[in-house]
Amino acid sequence: MVANRVCSKPSCKRVAVATLTYIYAESTAVLGPLASSPEPHCYDLCQTHTDSLTVPVGWEVVRLKVDAALLTGTDMDYDPSFRDRHPAGSSQVKPQLRLVPPSQ
């Protein structure tokens, strides 16, 4: 059984729902879905702290939205082609997050 992770904010005991990552070189805070496992230099936040997130003046916040079905894997059960494209036992690549600057 997997234990729920709690919010990283001091004295907050609510369940974490999102992960916050900072890109200091770009003055950017990235708020995305809860990471599959705790990551160093990332902060898990509850819904309350996710909704009230503020950043320093001059910083940008990137809020990544992900379909709940993708998080739970339920879409895989309904898409028969998924099993053909991703057979059991195939090697999996660990997802990585990169920010791509907008095209001018």
Residue with tokens 């991703």: 86
pTM of the model: 0.61
The residue extents of the domains of the chain are 18-85
The CA-to-CA distance between both ends of the chain, in Å, stands at: 48
DSSP state of 85: H
Q: How far apart are CA 23 and CA 7, in angstroms?
A: 20
Per residue of the chain (104 residues), what is the pLDDT tens digit?
A: 456 899 999 999 999 999 999 999 999 999 999 988 888 899 999 999 999 999 999 999 999 986 554 445 544 445 555 555 545 555 555 566 666 777 66
Which burial class, exposed, middle or buried, applies to 14 when counting CB atoms under 10 A from its CB (0-12, 13-18, 19+)?
middle
